[in-house]
């Protein structure tokens, strides 16, 4: 099957009016051609489709968009979406009820969400011409994830997810993992993330696309499978504060042929109100820098890029630790620390910033 896979979609103050109006030309410009001729078009819906104003307790922004977003996606050819991310439950049960209704009305099938953790572990299987393609969509633990007694997104588990992938490969011809995780704004994987992606490949994943970082990362071919550590957004123009880093504004569309196993990366960049195919020098620069980062996975220098990023975040992480036990605003400060402990990506940074003596003892 010919698949087109995109990253994070979340209409913003700059684009939500165009989603309400159904103005696909402004929103997608010449990228509309990418959706033609594919068997599967799938995106990551990283917001609730609701008019509710009731936000769950959390740190960070709460994301929502107009319910007509689902109709817009359907009109450009999107038939499937992943809900396995850290923002889908931002508006609680009401927000999800509205989201389900919008997706059902638009005839869009979703994956990566369930009534509880076990229910969320259901895969998306697509059959065509005797071929079975399976999507396993999971996210790291940063709000929104399902628990044993609450609905939510399909959280990654180092044991269960590996088992799910292995079983999926036994029952299907191709397995694609959409992994919503990794450190935001970092173009390199953490050592943990690279290790688990290798493990997922070793247990049957044919391709792994890591999303959530909001920037283009790096790619490697490992044991004849494809791993992309950072796809960038799909449609998240100007972010939540209107002043995102430069890396926010470029992204990759991924075309993957499940029969030939060929993968193609198509560079795209944001406009004021939408996205467009990258051209000229910008296109060349995006791909040149992408290939340079890819090479770093081969020569080991990706670790330097990861370490440098973590060091730039050091003051923020030290502050979270220092304030955790202050008497001033104890609930707020302790909850922020608890959030960092809960999330795999934050723990990755902690481990890089604070190595134990065992990591530095003589060799």
Which has the minimum average pLDDT: 43-47, 241-245, 253-257, 353-357? 241-245
What is the average per-residue pLDDT within 344-357?
96
Indicate the Cα dihedral angle 11, 12, 13, 14, nearest 10°: -80
Rounded mean pLDDT of the chain? 97
pLDDT at residue 363 in the model: 86
Q: How far apart, in whole angstroms, are the C-alpha atoms of residue 66 and residue 98? A: 10
pLDDT at residue 122 in the model: 97
pLDDT at residue 242 in the model: 77
What tens digit of pLDDT does each residue of 179-227 get?
Answer: 999 999 999 999 999 999 999 999 999 999 999 999 999 999 999 999 9
For CA atoms 244, 250, 255, 256, give the dihedral sign. negative
Strands 2-9 and 40-45: parallel
Q: How far is CA 162 from each of CA 31, 115, 142, 279, rounded to the nearest angstrom?
A: 34, 21, 20, 39
Residue 165: both structure tokens together: 């992938």
Could you tell me the end-to-end alpha-carbon distance of the chain, in angstroms, rounded to an integer?
A: 50
Q: How far apart, in whole angstroms, are the C-alpha atoms of residue 343 and residue 341? A: 6
Residue 290: both structure tokens together: 């992408």
3 has pLDDT over 90: yes
Q: How far apart, in whole angstroms, are the C-alpha atoms of residue 87 and residue 234? A: 15
pLDDT at residue 359 in the model: 87
Which has the minimum average pLDDT: 83-97, 283-297, 326-340? 326-340
Name the residue with higher pLDDT: 49 or 330.
49
Percent of the chain predicted with pLDDT > 90: 95
Q: How far apart, in whole angstroms, are the C-alpha atoms of residue 153 and residue 82? A: 9
Residue 130: both structure tokens together: 């005797």
What is the average per-residue pLDDT within 35-49?
98
What does the DSSP assignment read for 150-175? B-EE-B--TTHHHHHHHHHHHH-SEE
Q: Which class for 174: exposed (0-12), middle (13-18), buried (19 or more C-beta within 10 A)?
A: buried
pLDDT at residue 243 in the model: 83
Name the residue with higher pLDDT: 70 or 330.
70
pLDDT at residue 241 in the model: 76
Task: Say how many C-beta atoms besides its own lie within 10 A of residue 162's C-beta.
Answer: 18
Number of H helices, E strands in the chain: 13, 17
328 has pLDDT over 80: yes
257 has pLDDT over 90: yes
């Amino acid at each position: 099957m010919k698949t087109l896979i995109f990253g994070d979609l979340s209409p913003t103050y700059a684009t939500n009016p165009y989603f309400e109006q159904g103005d696909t030309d402004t929103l997608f410009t010449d990228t509309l051609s990418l959706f033609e001729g594919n068997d599967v078009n799938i995106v990551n819906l990283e917001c609730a489709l609701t008019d509710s104003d009731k936000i769950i307790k959390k740190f960070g922004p709460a994301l929502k968009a107009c319910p007509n977003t689902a109709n817009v996606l359907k009109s450009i050819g999107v038939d499937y979406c992943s809900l396995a991310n850290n923002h889908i439950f931002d508006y609680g049960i009401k927000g999800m009820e509205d989201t389900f209704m919008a997706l059902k009305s638009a005839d869009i099938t979703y994956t990566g969400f369930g009534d509880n953790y076990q229910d969320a572990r259901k895969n998306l299987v697509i059959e065509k011409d005797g071929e079975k393609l399976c999507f396993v969509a999971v996210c790291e633990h940063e709000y929104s994830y399902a628990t044993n007694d609450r609905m939510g997104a399909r959280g990654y588990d180092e044991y269960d997810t590996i088992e799910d992938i292995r079983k999926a490969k036994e029952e299907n011809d191709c397995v694609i993992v959409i992994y919503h995780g990794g450190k935001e704004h970092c173009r390199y994987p953490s050592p943990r993330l690279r290790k688990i992606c290798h493990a997922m490949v070793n247990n049957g994943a044919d391709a792994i696309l890591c999303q959530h970082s909001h920037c283009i990362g790096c790619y490697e071919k490992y044991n004849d499978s494809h791993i992309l550590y950072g796809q960038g957004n799909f449609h998240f123009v100007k972010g939540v504060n209107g002043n995102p880093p430069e890396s926010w504004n470029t992204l990759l569309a991924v075309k993957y042929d499940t029969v030939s196993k060929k993968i193609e990366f198509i560079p795209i960049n944001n406009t004021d109100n939408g996205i467009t195919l990258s051209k000229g020098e910008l296109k060349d620069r995006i791909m040149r820098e992408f290939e340079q980062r890819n090479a770093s996975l081969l020569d080991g220098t990706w670790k330097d890029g990861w370490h440098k990023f973590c060091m730039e975040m050091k003051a923020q992480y030290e502050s979270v630790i220092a304030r955790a036990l202050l008497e001033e605003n104890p609930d707020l400060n302790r909850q922020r620390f608890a959030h960092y402990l809960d999330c795999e990506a934050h723990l990755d940074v902690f481990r890089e910033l604070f190595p134990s003596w065992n990591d530095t003892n003589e060799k």
